Amino acid sequence: MNSIRQSLIKAKKLFEKKNIPALEAVLLLEKVLSLPKEKLFANLERNLSPQQEKKFFELINKRLNNFPIQYILGYQNFWSLKFQIGQGVFIPRPETELLVEKALELFSKENEIIIIDIGTGCGNIAISLGKEYSNSRIIGIDVSKKALYYANKNARFHRVHNVEFLKGNLFSPLKKLNLYRKVDLIISNPPYVSEEEWMELDEEILKYEPKEALVPGKSGLELIEKIIKESPKFLKIKGFLLLEIGEKQADKVKELFNEHWKEIEIFKDYNHLPRAIKARLS
């Protein structure tokens, strides 16, 4: 039997060969032992049972085969919140926090506003905004039944009562709600990876993440164009549209806005790459 220390050293050596951070081994052992990191390091000489050791190295091997750690752990952190996810659901990225950050600059937190999140996935954007804009009504929409299962699960976990999730393609569920020209903000991290870019992504993404959550079509602009075109039906005059975009798409996306839009602004992410675009309906 190996101790916690010995098992972590062995796992770290295996991970080093594939440039996987050693911290991930700690996270996987936390999962196996159901122990927080502090207790793990306070008991480094404790021996693992044969079953615990077997389970731990099964997860290590899964990770060595490029299975995303977020799917193994069953969660991803976003906006200082923990979001439960599973295979088949898009994994939230840190750079998407920029959308939440920019959304919070648009209105006072006391305002009673309506926000629509298109392609909500596990609900990370909608729920993060629901926590911040507690007086507001927020609707997350997704075409994926599995994504909505996790979105609803996350809403219950975070006890947000001002967020609801609807199944449907883009704006279709809103037609029954009579929200024409009543929405203050439409926000979205839509699929925007082109078919060409998809082939160049890491194996971890290619093998395990849902392609439909990343690739909308050949150019990568297909859904962005539809959202820009349909948003004016639901936005109030002077309402905002806030989209995540690909790092090489800024100029092309700008061209999709017609004369009815103003205050078009591009924002860069923490790597100084164009990552979000904001526009206001005139």
**Which residues form the catalytic set?**
90, 189-190
Residue-by-residue DSSP string for 195-219: HHHHTTS-HHHHHHS-GGGT--SSS
What lies within 8 Å, CB to CB, of 168 at 6+ separation is 141, 143
Q: How many CB atoms lie within 10 A of CB 240?
A: 23
Distance, in Å, from the CA atom of 136 to the CA atom of 132, rounded to the nearest integer, reads: 9
Whether residue 280 contacts residue 262, with contact meaning beta carbons closer than 8 Å, is answered with: yes
Question: How big is the chain, counted in residues?
Answer: 282
For β-strands 163-167 and 137-142, DSSP reports them as parallel
Q: Which residues, in sequence order, are bridge partners of residue 242?
A: 187, 278
3-state secondary structure of 237: strand
Q: How many CB atoms lie within 10 A of CB 3?
A: 14
